[in-house]
């Protein structure tokens, strides 16, 4: 028996190692560059990476098209090929690239190609993932630092070709990034796995009197232990009344035994974000009222998830969730949409009016926030749109009211 088990474990190891390698090798960076090039009629497209910084995290667009961790590099796409401009231009060209040139040569290239049109990304702000490491305490969206320097570079490049036609590359990039390929879905699945496992572990450790911050530290330690270098966004841990504040990140209060706790969190793995919310009672038992609110949110989430399929819009999904809350007697306004795109950043790029297509990845996260009763409930899962519906990447994480009770406060009962 033991020998069999060992063999099975060994086989499993071999299989998972192969799957992992295949996913890594199978990232179609060159195909993405080709698809972008097919969308620009002529001229030169420039995509600057993130400037050198410590700690360094690559820019999302640049990473999507190159998979290169190099700092301070500009990707240039022309009808002749794909080039990298680096500070001194001495690196050998990575496979799939036509050459590496010194940044000084960029002006020559601009002169040669920009007359036929220069394509530049715009001022899209992708700040969440760039600025938060597990265990670090930062707020949302610091607009200063490398992201700002990248924007400055873009606006300077615009000025250098004054008079020439500058066009927006952003809509083309967004169109590509909005539909995830297989390798991206695998990264998202891993990010959700790391987040979910750490979250389950953290919820099991809950005790009355524990501080929100203490819970957060344990949770984020789990991310680090499982290989995350970044948070997808600052973790939200809100107990009681704090759970009714949608973007509460102060996380300074103590858990009271009769309170609900809302935890909205995500690790970043392989550059991709997870975004999961669970709500649980500190003492492991919902009151009748807490359960009533919880079940309403759950029903709204189930209805919204059931509606996800190609052809539907996120607006339609949102309306379905709101209707369920209303039908259950919860008439206060939900102060956020039911869904957002998830990908290289937690609130990923994408057109909110788009009809869903297979490969699009969204959250479904209805909530009810009753400030007077100090009851906040939000439940959030991540789903990939498939051919005829959607696959949840997070359905294995306890979600039903009974499951949540079993997970919480086991040693209190």
Positions that interact with Mn ion (CB under 5 A): 275, 363
Q: How far is the CB of 340 from Mn ion (least distance, A)?
A: 6
Q: Which is nearer to Mn ion, 283 or 363 (CB)?
A: 363
Measured CA angle at 131 (ends 126, 136), to 5 deg: 150
Q: How far is the CB of 59 from Mn ion (least distance, A)?
A: 22
Q: How far is the CB of 141 from Mn ion (least distance, A)?
A: 14
Give the SS3 label for residue 328. coil
User: Which residue is closest to Mn ion by CB?
Assistant: 275
Q: Which is nearer to Mn ion, 286 or 341 (CB)?
A: 341
Q: How far is the CB of 347 from Mn ion (least distance, A)?
A: 7
Q: Which is nearer to Mn ion, 275 or 405 (CB)?
A: 275
Torsion of CA 106, 111, 114, 120, to 10 degrees: 30
157 in Cβ contact with 177 (< 8 Å): no
Compute φ and ψ for 198, nearest 5 degrees.
-65, -35
Q: Which is nearer to Mn ion, 73 or 361 (CB)?
A: 361
Q: Which is nearer to Mn ion, 58 or 339 (CB)?
A: 339
Give the SS3 label for residue 44. strand
350 in Cβ contact with 220 (< 8 Å): no
Q: Tell me, rounded to whole angstroms, the distance of Cα 345 from its chain centroid.
A: 4
Give the SS3 label for residue 226. coil
396 in Cβ contact with 196 (< 8 Å): yes
Q: How far is the CB of 276 from Mn ion (least distance, A)?
A: 8
Tokens linked to 129 = 């993932």
Q: How far is the CB of 342 from Mn ion (least distance, A)?
A: 7
Compute φ and ψ for 260, nearest 5 degrees.
-95, 150
Q: Which is nearer to Mn ion, 103 or 246 (CB)?
A: 246
């Amino acid at each position: 028996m033991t020998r069999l088990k060992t063999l099975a474990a060994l086989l499993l190891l071999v299989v998972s190692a192969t799957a992992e390698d295949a996913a890594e090798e199978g990232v179609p960076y060159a195909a993405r560059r080709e698809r972008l090039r097919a969308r620009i009629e002529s001229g030169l497209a420039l995509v600057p990476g993130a400037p050198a910084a410590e700690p360094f995290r690559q820019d999302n667009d640049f990473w999507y098209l190159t998979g290169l961790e190099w700092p301070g590099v500009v990707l240039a796409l022309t009808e002749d090929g794909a080039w990298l401009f680096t500070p001194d231009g001495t690196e050998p060209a990575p496979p799939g690239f036509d050459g590496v040139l010194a940044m000084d040569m960029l002006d020559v290239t601009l002169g040669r190609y920009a007359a036929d049109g220069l394509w530049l990304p715009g001022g899209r702000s992708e700040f969440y993932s760039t600025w938060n490491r597990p265990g670090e305490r930062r707020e949302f969206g610091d607009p200063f630092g490398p992201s700002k320097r990248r924007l400055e570079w873009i606006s300077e490049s615009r000025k250098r070709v004054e008079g020439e036609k500058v066009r927006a590359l952003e809509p083309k990039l967004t169109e590509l990034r909005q539909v995830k390929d297989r390798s991206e879905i695998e990264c998202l699945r891993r990010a959700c796995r790391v987040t979910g496992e750490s979250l389950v572990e953290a919820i099991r450790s809950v005790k009355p009197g524990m501080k929100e911050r203490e819970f957060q530290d344990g949770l984020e330690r789990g991310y680090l232990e499982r290989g995350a270098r970044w948070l997808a966004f600052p973790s939200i841990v809100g107990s009681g009344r704090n759970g009714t504040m949608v973007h509460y990140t102060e996380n300074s209060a103590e858990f009271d035994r009769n309170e609900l706790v809302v935890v909205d969190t995500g690790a970043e793995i392989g550059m991709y974000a997870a975004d999961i919310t669970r709500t649980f009672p500190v003492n492991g038992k919902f009151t009748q009222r807490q359960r009533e609110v919880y079940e309403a949110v759950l029903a709204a989430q189930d209805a919204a998830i059931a509606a996800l399929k190609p052809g539907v819009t996120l607006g339609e999904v949102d309306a379905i969730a709101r209707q369920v809350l209303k039908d259950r007697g919860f008439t206060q306004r939900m102060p956020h949409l039911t869904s957002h795109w998830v990908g290289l950043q937690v609130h990923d790029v994408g057109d909110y009016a788009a009809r869903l297509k297979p490969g699009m990845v969204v959250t479904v996260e209805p909530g009810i926030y009753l400030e007077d009763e100090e009851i906040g409930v939000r439940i959030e899962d991540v789903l990939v749109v498939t051919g005829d519906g959607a696959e949840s990447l997070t359905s294995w994480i306890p979600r039903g009211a009974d499951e949540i009770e079993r997970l919480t406060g086991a040693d209190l009962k």
